[in-house]
């Protein structure tokens, strides 16, 4: 029976050793007054029985077999009624199906038909987890908008130690509740994001710029919007398409970016500086295009452009900062941790996101980012390579956990 006043969770259980842990999850969710609709894969039924889950959830438990016996179309019914689909534990097999849009059993069909939020809780042998194919599938799920919990490390059922353990129902439950109710945590908050690169004119046709694409900033805007914030984006050069609902202010130079940040700063609660701002600009901008033939010495054509420092936006903000949470980015090619921590301290930031911008792993222009977060209390968190959309979600979640945010939210 569908109870519309309660949140409906479709709990997909797949054929892994950790399937027995989903019994406890189903029990806890039912006690917390959620309507839990369990879907068991055929392989999961080798580990847990429909009867146990039916008794615990007081709801029909769905299997490939009984879904065929019913005259209704259960995969669409379940997909439509779900406020959230949770796959716990999620096998490598079902993850691959979800990532690639396969629909060859009831659970994968529900996953394809459901347009509500989806949570995957991977649990498997560490080699299966680390395999390129699984990692690619997990990234694809995140790009599709699903939330994927990171497995824990430790002794696995197969007897080896590594990453792949079911992370524990406390973690799973916290994630479920955050997906069902925590989405609007930024409602009523003003979030200012800067993104893209700046361009400093040399002459009317040339400029000094950088490779920033603005993708990280765009992902942050989308995540802040999704969480209910009012979002302003100060945007330099970029490769973005559209960002409806975001108040976009376009700028070109570091000076223009500075002026716009200062203009909007006082009304903001959270400022995330993801733009790549030039540190130097030409001392003077030539009025006419510089000719090829100028300044020839010793047969080799050389040209010297004198540079001067641009305004340090983060430093200016740190002097003005009051209630605002300020998060900076450190794009580094070497000594990433040292440079990022130095910037965090000098610019009086609440948090800094350090990332690599040299070589093949460069975050510039890529859809992925490998970042480490540092806080003003000295703590750090190293993150795996992940899509920028996923990193944006992690960052916003970390911002929401900051004591300063908790104070602002009161
Ligand atoms: C004893 C046993 C334990 C298994 N444990 C896991 C596991 O923890 N994680 C996993 O991804 N696959 C595991 N497998 C493999 C899956 O059961 C297999 O890939 C199956 O096709 C998954 O089907 P499903 O995704 O439809 O449930 C296990 C297989 C066996 C026989």
Ligand 1 atom with least separation from CA of 94: 25
Using CA atoms, how far apart are residues 130 and 111, in angstroms rounded to an integer? Answer: 23
> Would you list the domain boundaries of the chain?
8-183, 190-281+301-409
158 is catalytic: yes
Match 């004119």 to its residue by tokens.
Answer: 201
Q: Do domains 8-183 and 190-281+301-409 have the same CATH topology?
A: yes
The pLDDT value recorded for residue 4 is 47
The pLDDT value recorded for residue 359 is 63
CB atoms within 10 A of CB 159: 7
State both tokens at 127. Answer: 């080699």
- 91 CA to middle of ligand 1, Å? 6
CA-closest residue to ligand 1 atom 14: 16
The pLDDT value recorded for residue 261 is 97
* Cβ(86)–Cβ(8) below 8 Å: no
Mutational test site, ligand 1, from 21, 22, 43, max ligand atoms within 8 Å of CB? 43
Q: Which fold has domain 8-183?
A: Rossmann fold (3.40.50)
The pLDDT value recorded for residue 203 is 94
Ligand 1 atom with least separation from CA of 43: 27
What does the chain come to in residues? 410
pLDDT tens for each residue of the chain, 410 residues long: 455 457 999 999 999 999 999 999 999 999 998 999 999 999 999 999 999 999 999 999 999 998 887 667 899 999 999 999 999 999 999 999 999 999 999 999 999 999 999 999 999 999 999 999 999 999 999 988 899 999 998 887 777 888 999 999 999 998 898 888 767 889 999 999 999 999 999 999 999 999 888 999 999 999 999 899 999 999 999 877 778 789 999 999 999 999 999 999 999 999 999 999 999 999 999 999 888 765 556 667 778 899 999 999 999 999 999 899 999 999 877 788 888 999 999 999 999 999 877 666 655 667 778 899 999 888 899 888 888 888 998 899 899 888 888 888 77
Catalytic residue from among 158, 174, 205, 358: 158
Out of 3.40.50.10300, 2.60.40.10, 3.40.50.1860, 3.30.565.10, select the CATH number for domain 190-281+301-409.
3.40.50.10300
- 197 CA to middle of ligand 1, Å? 46
- 97 CA to middle of ligand 1, Å? 13
Closest C-alpha among 270, 186, 268, 260 to residue 229: 186
Gap between the terminal Cα atoms of the chain? 38
Mutational test site, ligand 1, from 14, 16, 21, max ligand atoms within 8 Å of CB? 16
The pLDDT value recorded for residue 336 is 82
Pocket of ligand 1 (CB under 6 A): 14-18, 41, 43-44, 91-94, 123-124, 128
Residues 6+ apart with CB under 8 A from 32: 173
CA-closest residue to ligand 1 atom 7: 16
Ligand 1 atom with least separation from CA of 13: 27
The backbone torsions φ and ψ at residue 186, rounded to the nearest 5 degrees and listed phi first, read: -100, 10
* Cβ(39)–Cβ(112) below 8 Å: no
* Burial grade of 117 (CB within 10 A; 0-12, 13-18, 19 or more): middle
The pLDDT value recorded for residue 179 is 85
The pLDDT value recorded for residue 111 is 98
pTM over 0.75: no
SS3 string, the chain, reads CCCCCCCEEEEEECCCCCHHHHHHHHHHHHHCCCEEEEEECCCHHHCCCHHHHHHHHCCCCECHHHHHHCCCCHHHHHHHHCCEEEEEEECHHHHHHHHHCCCCCHHHHHHHHCCCCEEEEECCCHHHHHCHHHHHHHHHHHHCCCEECCCEEEECCCCCEEEEECCCHHHHHHHHHHHHHHHHCCCCCEEEEEECECCEECCCCCEECCCCCCHHHHHHHHHHHHCCCEEEEEECECCCCCCCCCEEEECCCHHHHHHHHHHHHCCCCEEEECCECCCEEECCCCCCCCCCCCCEECCEECCCCCEEECCCHHHHHHHHCCCCEEEEEEEECCCHHHHHHHHHHHCCCCEEEEEECCCCCCCCCCCEECEEEEECCCCEEECCCEEHHHHHHHHHHHHHHCHHHHHHHC
- 16 CA to middle of ligand 1, Å? 4
């Amino acid at each position: 029976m569908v109870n519309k006043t309660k949140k409906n969770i479709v709990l997909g259980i797949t054929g892994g050793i950790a399937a027995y842990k989903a019994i406890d999850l189903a029990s806890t969710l039912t006690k917390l007054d959620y309507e839990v609709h369990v879907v068991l894969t055929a392989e999961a039924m080798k580990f847990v029985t429909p009867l146990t889950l039916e008794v615990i959830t007081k709801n029909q438990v769905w299997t490939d077999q009984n879904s065929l016996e019913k005259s209704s179309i259960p995969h669409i019914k379940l997909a439509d009624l779900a406020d959230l689909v949770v796959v716990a534990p999620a096998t490598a097999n079902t993850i691959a199906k979800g990532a690639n849009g396969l629909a060859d059993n009831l659970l994968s069909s529900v996953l394809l038909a459901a347009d509500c939020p989806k949570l995957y809780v991977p649990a498997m042998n560490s080699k299966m987890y680390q395999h390129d194919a699984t990692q690619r599938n997990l990234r694809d799920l995140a790009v599709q908008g699903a939330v994927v919990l990171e497995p824990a490390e430790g002794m696995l059922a197969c007897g080896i130690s590594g990453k792949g353990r079911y992370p524990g129902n406390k973690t799973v439950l916290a994630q479920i509740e955050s997906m069902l109710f925590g989405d609007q945590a930024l409602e009523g908050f003003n979030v200012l994001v800067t993104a893209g690169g700046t361009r400093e004119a040399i002459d009317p046709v040339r400029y000094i710029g950088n490779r920033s694409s603005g993708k990280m900033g765009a992902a942050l805007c989308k995540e802040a919007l999704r969480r209910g914030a009012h979002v302003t984006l100060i945007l330099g050069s970029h490769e973005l398409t559209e960002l409806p609902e975001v108040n976009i202010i376009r700028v070109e130079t570091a000076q223009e970016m500075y002026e716009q940040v200062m203009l909007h700063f006082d009304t903001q609660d959270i400022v995330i500086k993801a733009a790549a701002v030039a540190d130097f600009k030409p001392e003077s901008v030539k009025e006419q295009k510089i000719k090829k033939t100028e300044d020839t010495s010793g047969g080799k054509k050389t040209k010297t452009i004198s540079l001067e420092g641009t305004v340090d936006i983060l430093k200016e903000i740190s002097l003005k900062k009051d209630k605002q949470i300020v998060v900076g980015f450190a794009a580094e090619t070497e000594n990433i941790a040292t440079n990022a921590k130095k910037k965090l301290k000098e610019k009086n930031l609440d948090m800094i996101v350090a990332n690599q911008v040299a070589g093949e792993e460069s975050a510039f222009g890529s859809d992925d980012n490998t970042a480490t977060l540092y806080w003003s209390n000295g703590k750090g968190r190293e993150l795996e390579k992940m899509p920028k959309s996923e990193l944006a979600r992690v960052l916003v979640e970390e911002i929401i956990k900051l004591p300063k945010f908790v104070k602002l939210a009161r």
